[in-house]
A = this chain, B = another copy of it.
Amino acid sequence: MNEATTGTHAIHNGRVILSSQATVPVSSKAVQYGFTTYESLRVVGGVAIHLADHLQRLKNSCSIIGLEHPFTAQQISGWVAKLLAVDTIQEATVRIQLYGGAEPQLFILAQEIISYPEHYYTDGVGAITYHGERLIPSSKTGNLLLNYLALEEAKRQGCFEALLVDRHGAVLEGTRSNFYGFSGNTLYTAPDDLVLQGITRDRVIAAASELGFSLVFQVILLEDLRANRYDELFISATSMAAMPLAAVDSRPYPSSYERTAAIKRLVRSWDSKEDV
C-alpha cells in the first residue's frame, strides 16, 4: 500500500523519520473525514520549484476549510530543504500533506518525479468528460473521491485525463489539471473562483500574455467544444506544464499544438528562475 515513495526518509512535524513510518491512524477523524490539505511540487536539480507559491496555496487551502495548524511557511520550507539534504535528492515529486484536528500532523514525502513521454506533447493525449462538481474547487483537500473515480474511468477508456463538467455543462478543469481552449489567438479558461488556482495555471496565463495571446476568463461549454468553437485544447499541471488534448470523448481535436508548445516552453523556462 506504500506506493511510489522513493526517499528513505520523510518529515513528520519537522522531524526526520523513516518513510515507512509516515503513517496515520485509521481511528483519526481527520483521516476518516479527509480533513486534510496538500501540495505536490517538483524538485529538479535539487531545487524545489516554486516552493513559496505552493506554501502560499497550502495556506489558502487551510484557511478556506478552517484547518488550523501551527506550521509556518518558513518552517515547512526548511523541512523540505532538510528532506532533500538527508536523502541527497536531485529529482522528485515532493508531497506535503497536512492533517487537521486537535493535533495537526504535517508530512513531507519524496516520491518519484512524474514525467511523460515526448510524444504526449507532440501528438496530444486523450481525455473523457465526467459529470460532477468538486465541493470546494479553490482548496486542495482530501475530498477527492470524484477526482479518483473520474480518473479511473478515464484510464478504463485508455485516456490520460478526465475533464469535470458541472451542472451547467461547463468543462471546468481536469482531475489533476486546469483546462484551456484556444480559438485562434484567444485563450479561454474558467474564471478563478470556479477552479483550483493552479501554480502552473498562473504561469500559463502569464506565458500566454507574454506570447501575445488574448485571454478570456470564461467557462468552456461542452456544447461549444462539440461545435468546434475551439481549435486547440490543452491542460496544465505541475507535472505536465502544458499538454495538448488530441481527443475528448473520442472526438478528435486536431491541431499542430504549436500554441500549447510555445506556452509549455516558456512555462518550463521559468522553473529554474524562481524560489529556493
A interface residues (Cβ-Cβ under 8 A, vs B):
1-5, 10, 19-20, 22-35, 38, 65-66, 95, 97, 99, 101-103, 105, 107, 109, 111, 132, 135-136, 141-149, 152, 167
A3 to chain B, nearest CB (A): 6
Stoichiometry (number of copies): 2
Complex alpha-carbon distance, A119 and B163, angstroms: 50
Report the minimum CB–CB distance from A8 to chain B (whole Å). Answer: 13
B27 contacts A5, CB within 8 Å?
A: yes
Q: How far is the CA of A108 from the CA of B242 in the complex (A)?
A: 44
* Shortest distance between the CB of A26 and any CB in chain B (Å): 5
A33 CB contact (under 8 Å) in B27, B31, B136, B147 = B147
Query: What residue in chain B is nearest A27 (Cβ atoms)?
Result: B5
Sample (24) of A-B pairs whose CB atoms are under 8 Å apart: A1-B24, A1-B30, A1-B101, A1-B102, A2-B25, A3-B28, A3-B102, A4-B27, A5-B27, A23-B24, A24-B26, A24-B31, A26-B107, A27-B95, A31-B31, A33-B142, A34-B142, A34-B144, A34-B148, A66-B149, A66-B152, A135-B146, A142-B145, A143-B144
Closest CB-CB distance, A227 to chain B, in whole Å?
27
B residues in contact with A31, CB < 8 Å: 24, 31
> A135 CA to B28 CA in the complex, in Å?
22
A149 to B29, CA, bound (A): 12
When C-beta atoms are compared, the residue in chain B nearest to A34 turns out to be B34
B residues near A99, Cβ cutoff 8 Å:
1
Asked if A3 and B26 sit within 8 Å, CB to CB, the answer is no
Would A146 and B143 count as touching, CB distance under 8 A?
A: yes
Task: Please tell me if the beta carbons of A24 and B27 are within 8 angstroms of each other in the complex.
Answer: no
Chain A to chain B: the 8 pairs with minimum beta-carbon distance, closest first:
A143-B145, A23-B23, A33-B148, A33-B144, A2-B25, A34-B34, A5-B27, A22-B26
CB atoms of B22 and A1 under 8 A apart: no
Q: Is the CB of A145 within 8 A of B1?
A: no
When distances are taken between beta carbons in the complex, the residues of chain B under 8 Å from A136 are: 145
Which of A19, A27, A99, A102 has the largest number of chain B CB atoms within 10 A? A27
| Residues of chain B within 8 A of A19, CB atoms compared | 27
> Given A32-B142, A135-B145, are A24 and B24 also a contact pair (CB < 8 Å)?
yes
Inter-subunit contact B26/A1 (CB<8 Å)? no
Residues in B neighbouring A101, C-beta threshold 8 A: 1, 3
